[in-house]
Structure 1
Amino acid sequence: MWNQTRISKLLHVDYPILQGPFGGNLSSVALVTTVSNAGGLGGYGAYTLSPQEIVSVHNQIRSQTNKPYNLNLWVSDTDAINGTVNDEAFQQTAALYKPYFDEAGIPLPAKPQPFQSRFENQLQVVLDLKPEVFSFMFGTLSPDIMEQLKKRNIKTIGAATTLDEAIALEATGVDAIIASGFEAGGHRPSFMASAESSVTGTFVLVQLIKEKIKTPVIAAGGIATGKGIAAAFTLGAEAAQIGTAFLACDESNAPAIHRKMLFTDASKYTTLSRAFTGRLGRGITSRIAKDLLHQEDKILPFPLQTQFMSPLRTAALEKEKWDMVLFWGGQISPILKHTKAKELMHALIEETTAIL
């Protein structure tokens, strides 16, 4: 059977189908538990949460399922040197974005407060809670951390956007590697070269990685159907991680307008942009992303840019100025069909079974 792979056995799931863990408050307990209860692996993106909030989420998930789930964090959660920027850099960004804040009828925000990395404190919670699966992005973990995770029998999954990153992850002893292709929605989790230069497509990346490493590979990016899963498996993947298709489901924590946009003609056009968070990510093309395409040097580093843009996003949503909002989504969006996570899981399983 196609579903009996090293990944499904490793993660103790019936089907090697992973729901992408969304950051930025887009993950939900309902989505995670629906996918896990259906035999896949639900995923919760927790990089913005405090340790106490992670504990709360974990307890909520545990109250609704006893099946494995994946808790996800970012190894590198800031690009700002000493957590801040000088006043001159901030004023440059403020001047660039002032027309959009004026259009939304709100004042420019003050310079963001210095950001302190939360990863170490978040990681300690992971070690204490011992979720079955811990996935991470934007880097590798130290030998000491890997040893602590293995002692607790926590399975580890790292994300790679290039062959070099996959080789680096395998050297640390991860249990599985996500091959994150150019087509995927959300942030590009590159960590060895610039995100702009790490844009290999999913199916090429899977083949490159399979040629050089022995660690099981999970294909991610541009997959939303059983045909996509079957194609990934044919090329050597042993699981598929699906993001946008699950993000569009009612159970996700994406705003209703975000989910709706993924089913409109607008979803045919996506772009990679730093304009909203300071890190390169794919979403439905917006006016701001197009206007600022070649002005990345005037954008604040992550996550200061996210903080700076937060009031503009809120105002744009309230005033229905959709072209000023980045709605995360991958290139596969135009073929999405399902709005219920359970129905999507059943369709993925049935379609893949019919093909393989």
Structure 2
Amino acid sequence: MTSSLFSFFYLSSLSRNGNAAHKIQISNMVSSFSKRKDIYFLCIDADSFSLRHHYHFHAFKKIFTVLLVVFTFLRASRRHSGPIIVYTRELPIALLLSFLGFNCFLETHTYTRKNSIIFALISELNRFRSFSIVFVFISDALRSRFKPSLQCGHFHSLVLHDSISIVDSYARRLPLDYSLLFSSLRSEYEFIICHTGSLSRGGLEYLIDLIPEYPECCFLFLGTSIPDFCHYASISTDDIPCNVRLLGWATHSVSISVQQSSDILLYLASSRNKDYWCTSPMKIFEYMLARKHIISAKTSSISEIGNEQHFFFYDIDSAESMDTALAASLLAIKKSDYTLPLKAYQHVTSSFTWDARVSRIVDLATQLY
């Protein structure tokens, strides 16, 4: 039997190996939990059973994996004394184990009416000593949206934005094919403006008409296919501006290298995306770590991460405001003014690390249990 201050179990029916943002988050959280010497820690996820899958899976396989994770946890937990804490991003796991008397931290990233009702029920159940779920919200904007549903009951909560791994700040060499591409682009364009990852948060529909107005800039989109680009820009293939370059999927490591090799980094969002106001995108932390100028949509959750001392903000759903931000960022580069990127780097490395995130979880657990 193991004896320690706490036994923390990170439970997930998903794999932590891969390039998707949720997998990178799980992997980094597991790494930071594992560094702690004052707790026992174990991660049980789909990798534990060679059952790796993504969000698009058969419903039966999902249910089976959840039950397998829970069963494995129940067997493992019998060997530990002292408080046992379960950390998960999955509501079914938290509900099931809380009904079995375990203390759970439930991390949530989105708002739905259905979850609002379930969370209200959880806050009522939290009145009973044998039932305990602590809510971890990815932004204060998200917690504020849920708060009316929780006020009638009893609940504890944390706001924990996504974070960064300092190792991602280390200078990385571009792979040869990307290095050759950047050399070619540098000979053709004065500036490289880069967006990495999915365009599903919107914003491209406002940027697309501005791109031809900046012929000295190459607009590079990493992780975007031609059909996706045309879909989100609402244009045909023939209408893609000549100073746009589309690069397909790349590993997380390559994405970091591309960010570090660009001049300006874009974070796009619009109200067409239902979660634009509450997300804590890992991309924005990577951008801050790259020490490059950042043009970002001004949303409630992004404003919690940084301000005008860190980003060139543009108003959501405003092409005119986006144009102003583009012009201001280019002017700063021409003046060799890198005040904002430096402040953004200092801010993110001092306030948003995975180790600090895990410390806040352990500190609250210490207070509660």
Compute the TM-score of the two structures, normalised by the length of structure 2: 0.35
Higher Cα Rg, which structure = 2
